[in-house]
Structure 1
């Protein structure tokens, strides 16, 4: 049975009062705080869209130059049959490429952390590979894989691997040594300590690289499709551009942005489920 902090009386049902104790009220307060943090974003987006709509409508801007938000919404609704199918293809390529990029990036980062020889030999090559423009690499993948989906998955994975690998090795290198010392003193092997202790401590930083990769996978897949594919958002964008239909170009862009936002939400949710809220890892004595 819970005790009210002010009245010092038991609270029936085990629920807590609104004075700060855990319970339904605390959950509501946390939800309210999260909502308040989102208010500036919602207001900024509303002001941006409202100003955009007013500028195009009241300024009589040619729709061939800038499409109004309402025109973009109508374009999405009117072409969703083909646009949705293209988005499904690009979504599959980007998602699978993202998963490969995360898995390989973590493995490469662990290898760079564990072997200084491997780091000295491969890290510069890995960094140099990321400086290559996609437009110069895509033709090679077209030669190797043709116009099919696997080539786009490989391109997406290759260009998404670097941020995850870099953040993995940086996170592991930054883990305080006493974490390993405690685990080894308790009889854990070095491999167990690496996978169950050091990676857990470095997980927040690794997720930083995962988010960077998630922000670009669908754009990378769409660009690869634009340079050569049979289907997908890149082909859809190319057709919209060839027809000089500005609302359709904006429609495809909005869909890619929404897909990226959805993937980022999934990444953030997985981080919260696996690692818990970031506030839980703050030092409780930091303010003392």
Structure 2
């Protein structure tokens, strides 16, 4: 209980800062007579969100589905690619630069190809999310496995373990914290990628909803879609943190008790 209260106190300054910023934003829009088409006040955004919720919610569900499924594929493929590249120096040398180069391509140049291949269906957006989300996971998987001290493997192999068993039960377990670092980086922009892909070509989703708001110059709705994407990202990050806690336990348990002696 004490540890939970301490963690809650850690977020108190953030909550206070957000409240102050929102209040200042509202006062500035009201006192400064700012045009609603330029920037909307928080109260106008809330009202617009409530009024358009019957259409905003279905669009949110589409983008959420694309994001969560694409993210799951990115995690799976990213870890597998990282393991394969770690185990094969030849593949790492031959293909890793190509993987890195693929990540430098802007989404606006890749999305038309996926539209040609998949059409305007949801599957195309899932594929884009997975492709753009797997790189940091693969990189952190490789780096995490390379950072595992050699004596972990030596002890396991000396005790009769196979190399495959050692990789799965020893090296991946030791590297798991660093792999989760890559997963968090990927999760931070999953839904932004999904919405952008929808904006460039889709039938439904937050990207299309955002495009309609922009075309009609309804500024509050643009903010509504933005905050929904932020909320979805926050939910995904919470899921990642909870899964890490359940699978690996608190990070404090990984500390060496003899390190401070």
| TM-score category of the 2 structures, normalised to the smaller one | over 0.9
Q: 1:83 aligned to 38, 53, 56, which one? A: 56
Q: Distance in 2 between matches of 1:147 and 1:230?
A: 6
User: Secondary structure of 1:269's partner?
Assistant: helix
**Structure 1 range deviating more: 48-57 or 132-141:** 48-57
Is structure 2 residue 77 aligned with structure 1 residue 104?
yes
Mapping 1:235-254, distance limit 5 Å: 235-254=208-227
User: Secondary structure of 2:101's partner?
Assistant: helix
Which residue of structure 2 lines up, in the alignment, with residue 177 of structure 1?
A: 150
Q: Which has the higher contact order (CA 8 A, sep 6+)?
A: 2
Stretches (4+) displaced over 6 A: none
Q: Distance in 2 between matches of 1:32 and 1:106?
A: 34
Q: 1:279 aligned to 236, 249, 252, which one? A: 252
1:284, CA displacement in angstroms?
Answer: 1.9
1:239, CA displacement in angstroms?
Answer: 0.1
Which residue of structure 1 lines up, in the alignment, with residue 241 of structure 2?
A: 268
**Structure 1 range deviating more: 55-64 or 168-177:** 55-64
User: Secondary structure of 2:94's partner?
Assistant: helix
User: Secondary structure of 1:169's partner?
Assistant: helix
- Structure 2 unmatched ranges of 5 or more: none
Which residue of structure 2 lines up, in the alignment, with residue 121 of structure 1?
A: 94
1:77, CA displacement in angstroms?
Answer: 1.0
Q: 1:194 aligned to 154, 167, 180, which one? A: 167
Is structure 2 residue 17 aligned with structure 1 residue 39?
no
- Structure 1 unmatched ranges of 5 or more: 1-27
Using the size of structure 2 for normalisation, the TM-score is 0.99
Which residue of structure 2 lines up, in the alignment, with residue 59 of structure 1?
A: 32
Q: Distance in 2 between matches of 1:163 and 1:201?
A: 18
Q: 2:125 aligned to 143, 146, 152, which one? A: 152
Using the size of structure 1 for normalisation, the TM-score is 0.90
Q: Deviations over 1:191-210 (max 9, x none)?
A: 01001110000000000000
Is structure 2 residue 202 aligned with structure 1 residue 229?
yes
Q: Distance in 1 between matches of 2:69 and 2:252?
A: 31
1:228, CA displacement in angstroms?
Answer: 0.4
Q: Deviations over 1:131-164 (max 9, x none)?
A: 0000000001000100000000000000001000
Mapping 1:12-23, distance limit 5 Å: none
Q: Deviations over 1:88-137 (max 9, x none)?
A: 00000011000000000000000111010000011000000000000000
The count of corresponding residues between Structure 1 and Structure 2 is 261
**Structure 1 range deviating more: 266-275 or 53-62:** 53-62
Q: 2:114 aligned to 141, 150, 153, which one? A: 141
1:287, CA displacement in angstroms?
Answer: 2.5
